[in-house]
Amino acid sequence: MSGAIPTLEDLGDVSGKRVLVRTDFNVPMETNDAGERSITDDFRIRSALPTIEWLIERGASVVCCSHLGRPKGSVDEKYSMHPVKVRLAALTPGVELLENLRFNPGEEANSKDFVDSLIHDIDLYVNDAFGAAHRAHASIVGPPATLPSAMGRLLQREVEVLLALRNTPKHPFTAVLGGSKISDKLGVVEALLETVDSLIIGGAMCFTFLAAQGYSIGDSLFEADQVDTCKRLLTLGKPIHLPEDLVGLDAQGNYATYGRRLPPGAKGFDIGPGSATAFSDLIMEARTVFWNGPMGMFEDERFAGGTRTVAHAMADTKAFTVVGGGDSAAALAQFGLDDAVDHVSTGGGASLELLELGDLPGLAALRKAPHAS
Ligand code: ADP
Ligand code: MG
């Protein structure tokens, strides 16, 4: 990657200008029995406020836009931005918010007509949607092709922290990976193996690695077509720490604890207490730690122990700590530890892709944007 990405200051005088701000308001929602939707965590809305307020204080009028869920290119009330609009108005009045970008198929297809409709009355563009910056969608790469553009404060901090982690980490650097999206994450495992001193693997991801080492994994979640990749990663020479004990349900559905070997029919849903302690020792000894993906199915309290122990180690270690991933961030918040780490990334896939590749389509588009006059 080359060339600086413009920041808000590079927009010049924003007074009287209409600014389109691409935010990531893809917030978790729940629906009650009456079918009313409410926001369960407004972290992503609050995270966008510094940028929005910076613009408003300088006399700009702000039009926000975001996707929400996966409505597949047509209007679907289940995904309307209305609850977000209400929360945003309560937090910072006077900001416009467009309807869900993904109601229009042109968003994901990056169609020129859709870009034109987004920017027809707009003077400047700001991208503050780190969580979507890895997608070459209309609202991410379209406006900066013609409008003076900048990254917002949230995107700026994400890029600074994650590129520092990627390029100049303090050693020992340990990465902790878990969660359930195994094939999605193996690319970043390979990239991380070049910079980290050790890698810790828990969550559902560990079973594909354990299977690659020849352990029986019962009926645990695993991806058969990734076993060979895991085998190769295990031979690259960097220490990869896998759980030495596991917790789950036996074939009859009863809670059970195991070593590394699961009997037929058993399902592993968490790392065991011995592994959790071993992993937290490694985190305590590190000077940089990146964590993505819960150690177990933490939504079920019986299987939250491993994730909780790792989260407390992240909070207690003197290391520089970065957490990426929607579910990992939710776990931290559930344990009340979200303020105890150095950086919680608002983007799961985006943080992994930036660590893996060192650049994102949304950042490349900003770098090429015309300068403000
Ligand atoms: P993130 O959002 O942090 O990137 P993922 O989306 O990859 O993480 O994975 C989170 C999900 O993984 C959680 O819903 C959790 O319940 C699930 N999970 C973790 N460990 C296991 C396991 N051993 N078996 C099944 N699901 C698991
Ligand atoms: Mg997730």
Report pTM. Answer: 0.89
Catalytic residue (one of 22, 44, 102, 166): 44
Q: What is the pLDDT of residue 188?
A: 87
Q: Which residues fall within 8 angstroms of residue 165, CB to CB, at 6 or more apart?
A: 288, 290, 320, 322, 355
- Would you call 177 helix, strand, or coil by DSSP? strand
Which residue has the CA at smallest separation from atom 7 of ligand 1? 179
Omega of the bond leading into 264 within 30 degrees of 0 (cis): no
Atom number, ligand 1, closest to the C-alpha of residue 297: 16
| Long-range contacts (CB closer than 8 Å, 24 or more residues apart) made by 336-340 | 337/311, 337/312, 338/43, 340/314, 340/315, 340/316
CATH number of 8-155: 3.40.50.1260
The catalytic position among 152, 248, 326, 362 is 326
CA of 326 to the centre of ligand 2 (A): 5
Percent of the chain with pLDDT over 70: 99
Closest ligand to the CA of 327: 1
Q: Which residue spans of the chain are classified as CATH 3.40.50.1260?
A: 8-155, 171-318
> Could you tell me if 182 and 226 are in contact, meaning their C-beta atoms sit under 8 angstroms apart?
yes
d(CA 77, CA 24): 19
Encode pLDDT of 358-369 as tens digits: 999 999 999 999
Residues with CB under 5 A from ligand 2 (ion): 326-327
What number is the average pLDDT over the span 268-282?
98
pLDDT at 1 over 60: no
Inter-residue contact 344 to 161 (CB < 8 Å): no
pLDDT band at 184 (very low <50, low <70, confident <90, very high): confident
**pLDDT at res. 2:** 52
Whether 313 and 283 have beta carbons less than 8 Å apart is answered as yes
> In DSSP terms, which residues pair with 103 in a beta bridge?
none
Residue 75 Cα to ligand 2 midpoint, Å, equals 25
Residues in the ligand 1 pocket, defined by CB under 6 Å = 178-181, 203-204, 221, 268-269, 292-294, 296-297, 299, 325-328, 348
Average pLDDT, the chain: 95
Share of the chain above pLDDT 90, in %: 88
**Domain topology for 171-318:** Rossmann fold (3.40.50)
